[in-house]
Amino acid sequence: MPRRIVIIGAHAAGVDAASAARKTDRTAEITLITDEKYAGYSRCGLPFVIGGRIPSFSNLIVFSPSYFQMMKLNLKTETKVTKIDVSKKTVLVAKNGNIEEIPYDSLIIATGASAFTPPIKGREKKGILPLRTIEDGQRIDQAIREGAKTAVVMGAGLIGLETAVALQERGLKVTVVEMLPQVLPAMLDADMAKMVQEMLEQKGIRILTNKPVEEFLGVDKVTGIVAGGEQINADLFISAFGVRANTQLAVDAGVALGETKLIKTNPRMETNVKDVYAVGDCAESIHIVTQRPVVQQLGTVAVRQGKVAGINAAGGYAVFTGVVGSAVTELYDMQIGVTGLTEAAAKRAGIETITGTVSSKTKAEYYPGALPIRVKLVVEKESQRIIGAQVIGGEEVTQRINAASFAIQKQMTVRELAKADTAYAPPLNETWEPLVLAAEMVLMKLR
């Protein structure tokens, strides 16, 4: 009898799990279930459709229905899983009032996360728009087409700032409110975040930090907010407070959560329940530097975890080695990247650090079109190992972040990085690689 694999969730983690399972076991019966209308699309692309850089939301669908047919994957859309019964090894699903029981041999929970709005006075009012699904994106796009001229984005994290830029590119007057003292608080240290904020303000986006949202104003529909004691009115209100993992289904089935309140797994992505795996935004990860559980809700993490769980659920063997939190974005012409721990995160983890920051150019100084680039390295003082990097520049940020990520994962010391053999040509790089210069800055401080 063929192995039955059921996957709850059909986006990055779920689809990659299904693909890996199919490649491991050619005969398995693999079923994917999602309560959304569209499966296998890129959430990360949503702001860029709103901004007009990507023509249509349909462009974001990475895995078309033909892909699922070709891979012999049974996809159920607009279908809600109401219960997991681990003793019977079944999941109960509902669609259009019809209830069905689906048996499994291996179950992969890839339920993801949902946008949330904190318990702020007036949050039950209409018109607070998250950006998590294609439908969310379509609602925001519709509001712009219907004549919205002003917008407030609540939250200055990655999605918040990408959405703010998108709205401004569509001609709206945008205000961003953030309760913490800086933009991109999870991604950058304050000194690097300042560069991003100044650039956004120069482009005409109003940014208010240290301003928590205290109230939503309006009768039925939101017409304004109070943030840090200031009233701000607008036509459009974007909720970018963050996301919360969808764990209730797992908890009800007896699946244990970890200290981050996400589903706890071992390196094979197995939960405490036999033959039940968890991956993606609903599962916690182990940070390679601190060896502590962390919340790392990134597409790159989701697909890697999905692959591991898919192989194991289909009878193979694979392990997930952990995360360093590598992430990049582009706001206007500025690329921003991070990997490992920020100086602030290292301090919270009780790690004493030394940092080195340099400003350089992306090409030889004399070469036309050379753009500025700033690199910050975070080094553990005791071991002299590289534990973090932040890069902001006009180009070539991603590959420098990737290089720093390799260095962190291979436990490279700052002395080793300072001796690195790097490439140079006038149109492509300076003779001294900025990462190497930053390493030399740290060595100077260590002396």
- Residues 287-297: tens digit of each pLDDT: 999 999 999 99
- Give the pLDDT band of residue 63 (cuts 50, 70, 90): very high
Taking residues 143-171, what's their average pLDDT?
A: 96
Residue 125 has pLDDT above 90, yes or no: yes
Distance CA 145, CA 129 (A): 15
Distance CA 32, CA 10 (A): 6
Q: Where are the domains of the chain?
A: 4-114+244-313, 117-241, 333-446
Radius of gyration of the CA atoms of the chain, in A? 23
The CATH architecture one would assign to domain 117-241 is 3-Layer(bba) Sandwich (3.50)
Give the pLDDT of residue 72. 96
What's the pTM? 0.94
Residue 337 has pLDDT above 90, yes or no: yes
How far, in Å, are 8, 20, 28, 30 from residue 23 at the CA level? 19, 5, 10, 11
Give the pLDDT of residue 447. 86
Give the pLDDT of residue 434. 97
Backbone angle region of 267, left / alpha / beta, with phi > 0 → left and psi within -120 to 50 → alpha: alpha
- Give the pLDDT band of residue 431 (cuts 50, 70, 90): very high
- Pick among 3.40.190.10, 3.40.50.40, 3.30.390.50, 3.30.390.30: CATH of 333-446: 3.30.390.30
Q: What is the CATH code of the structural domain delimited by 4-114+244-313?
A: 3.50.50.60
Domain 4-114+244-313 and domain 333-446 have a common topology: no
Taking residues 303-310, what's their average pLDDT?
A: 98
Give the pLDDT of residue 376. 98
Q: Could you count the other beta carbons within 10 Å of the beta carbon of residue 367?
A: 15
* Long-range contacts of residues 76-81, Cβ cutoff 8 Å, at least 24 apart: 76/31, 76/32, 76/33, 76/34, 77/10, 77/34, 77/36, 77/37, 77/38, 77/39, 78/34, 78/35, 78/36, 78/37, 79/33, 79/34, 79/35, 80/35, 81/8, 81/33, 81/35, 81/249
pLDDT in tens, 199-242: 999 999 999 999 999 999 999 999 999 999 999 999 999 999 99
Taking residues 304-316, what's their average pLDDT?
A: 98
Give the pLDDT of residue 295. 94
Which residue in 4, 36, 44, 169 is the catalytic one?
Answer: 44
> Across the beta sheet with 353-361, what order do the strands follow?
327-331, 334-340, 386-393, 372-380, 353-361
Distance CA 93, CA 148 (A): 39
8 Å CB contact between 379 and 387: yes
Question: For this structure, is 44 an active site residue?
Answer: yes
Distance CA 390, CA 336 (A): 8
